[in-house]
Structure 1
Amino acid sequence: MSELIEPIATVTFSDVTNEAFLAIGMRNYWDGYFAGRAAPLGLAPAEVVHAVFYNFADGEVARHIPRVWGKTTPEEAIAVRERGSADALRQRIGELSDSPGLVQVADLATRAAVSAPTEGRVLYAGLRALDIPEEPVARLWHATTLLREHRGDGHNIALVAHGIGGTEAHVLMALALGMRAEQFGRIHHLPKAQLTAVVDGLRDRGLVDAAGGFTDAGRETKQRIEALTDQLAAPAYDVLSADELDDLIAGLEPIATAAEASDD
């Protein structure tokens, strides 16, 4: 399910949505990113957004929050993000946007998306408080975003449970993808001394070896985190029968494939 909802939900980070945010006064991509994604939290200070988003380096959120709220409001940011994301999804999936099957998929995804537990899931709970779009393409994007952020909140819980901080999580992801930490896009920009200190800390804990790769303990820790993330995400789909879940998977597959192919 994660592989199917990811390419649909993440159209929100595309050029189409970015241009919509630039049009209302955002300076750059990251202004729009933080305004749109943090908007369900209201006028939360940077410290709160940093805690909820979890894996941004110290100071990165504060470069955008609260500055963006001098250019827009959370309510406007929510509307711009929804409108831009729906437009982006329509462009990527083409004629599938008007197919009868999309309505069924949007309805099934929405049922799952509004049924998951909110306890401990701050960003998901904020999204759950928003109105559900009526238009099917926007509703599908909204549902997959709810499911993605529910999973993301659960992933943060798993990271905390295993004592893995935000930047450390990116290092483990880089190693899982077969690259060194300094090559990974989300952290390659960090000062060398800062990133080295994070890797050294993981090495001291026996998770990274002398060459900067996984130890067996590091690989096992990453696998346990992913398994717990899956486990915590699963209750969202309990509301669907086995047949309905099969229908949801079958309906999402061509949409996700089209969205991903267009992104590539």
Structure 2
Amino acid sequence: MTIHSRAKVHRMFELVEPIATVTFSDVPNEAFLAIGMRNYWDGYFAGRAAPLGMVPAEVVHAVFYNFADGEVARHIPWVWGKTTPAEAIAVRERGSALALRQLIGELADSAELAQVADLATRAGLSAPTEGRVLYAGLQALDVPEEPVAKLWHAATPLREHRGDGHNAALVANGIGGTEAHVLMALAAGMPAEKFGRIHHLPKAQLDGVVDGLRRRGLVDAAGGFTDTGRATKSRIESLTDELAAPPYDVLTPDELDQLIAGLEPIAAAVEAADH
């Protein structure tokens, strides 16, 4: 049983997410283009899948969970003809650390950031790996010494540990990857066809996903949540928070409070620079 409250575990998600996801920003993208990637998504799949090794598209599709059929195969294994997993890991780390440094300004060289990076690393490397495929791949990587790179590196397994648990929660509740995006769209008050991660899908395909949710009583005739759908989404999010707790069990309550307090200005600086 975790020693920390669900609210603090969820707060860590809110703080880790903007730091980890600088890896999907312009600076790392340009670094991947410079080694021969054709577009953003080549770099995305090369960098994020690299800790899994040179596995086929079917494995990446299963681990990432929420991409529509065929989307991964447009990039894997093509990217491995241009780079290797080891090079992709290095390119991703360098580009992400540089992006994070640019976004947080003078915080990058503060003693507080170095302390936060150490605490985040302790948490990020501490959780059991069973059933956490992407997390296990990240946990096996070398930890950089430079504090900004170390902080980004620690945020990434924390993010993907939660992501592996979120996928398990979706499976347990019978929600597929594309269906999960529809539920995210509805939770944001947006029709599925307007949601960024699925708006590009053919209308017939997306309509079929929504129809499947409607037949199961999760979506109403107007395309919004039913009470059952809303309860299902809430149950998934609650279980995701519960499953995300293990990395933080290595920290005392005071240490987790210190980590949260230290991450708050860093995450705020990233978010402010991103808008």
Which TM-score band applies after superposition, normalised by the shorter structure?
over 0.9
How far 1:116 sits from its partner (Å)? 1.1
Q: What aligned pairs does 1:35-54 form with structure 2 within 5 A after superposition?
A: 35-54=46-65
Give the aligned residue type for 2:198.
I
Residue of structure 1 aligned with 2:159, choices 138, 148, 152: 148
SS in 2 for 1:213: coil
Could you say what secondary structure the match of 1:238 adopts?
A: helix
Query: 2:107: which partner in 1?
Result: 96
1:213 matched to 2:235? The reply is: no
Q: How does 1:103-252 map to 2 (within 5 A)?
A: 103-252=114-263
**Runs of 5+ unmatched residues, structure 1:** none
Does residue 12 (structure 1) correspond to residue 23 (structure 2)? The answer is yes
Equivalent-residue separation in structure 2 for 1:200 and 1:149 (angstroms): 30
Provide the C-alpha distance between the structure 2 equivalents of 1:231 and 1:84, rounded to a whole number of angstroms.
Answer: 32
Return the alpha-carbon distance in structure 1 between the equivalents of residues 38 and 240 of structure 2: 34
Question: Structure 2 counterpart of 1:182, which letter?
Answer: E
1:54-99 per-residue CA deviation (whole Å, 9 max, x = no partner) reads 0000000000000000000000000000000000000000000000
Q: Distance in 2 between matches of 1:116 and 1:148?
A: 12
Structure 2 letter corresponding to 1:144: A
Q: Give the TM-score normalised by structure 2.
A: 0.96
Q: CA deviation at 1:29?
A: 0.1
Deviations 1:204-229 (A, max 9, x none): 00000000000000000000000000
Q: Does 1:60 align with 2:71?
A: yes
Distance 2:170 2:152 in 1: 26
Where does structure 2 lack aligned partners over 5 or more consecutive residues?
Answer: 1-11
The alpha carbon displacement at 1:235 in A equals 1.1
CA distance in 1, matches of 2:154, 2:249: 15
**Aligned-pair distance for 1:44?**
0.5
CA distance in 1, matches of 2:176, 2:189: 20
Distance in 2 (alpha carbons) for counterparts of 1:12 and 1:216? 36
CA distance in 1, matches of 2:199, 2:71: 14
The whole-number CA distance in structure 1 between the counterparts of 2:14 and 2:128 is: 21
- Structure 2 residue matching 1:8: 3-state secondary structure: helix
Q: Specify the SS of the correspondent of 1:43.
A: coil
Q: Tell me the distance in 2 between the aligned counterparts of 1:11 and 1:180.
A: 27
Stretches of 4+ aligned residues off by more than 6 angstroms: none
**2: CA distance between counterparts of 1:210 and 1:109?**
45
The letter for the 1-side match of 2:205 is Q
Give the Cα–Cα distance (whole angstroms) in 2 for the partners of residues 166 and 91 of structure 1.
Answer: 33
**In 1: Cα distance, 2:113 partner to 2:150 partner:** 10
Which whole-Å deviations, capped at 9, do the CAs of 1:147-179 have from their partners, x for residues lacking one?
000000000000000000000000000000000
Distance 1:70 1:263 in 2: 33
Q: TM-score, normalising length from structure 1?
A: 1.00
Q: How far apart in 1 are the matches of 2:63 and 2:36?
A: 25
Q: How many corresponding residue pairs?
A: 264
Using the TM superposition, give the Cα deviation of residue 108 of structure 1 relative to its aligned residue in structure 2, in angstroms.
0.3
The root-mean-square deviation of aligned C-alpha atoms, in Å, is: 0.4
Percent sequence identity over aligned pairs: 84
* C-alpha deviation, 1:234, in angstroms: 0.7
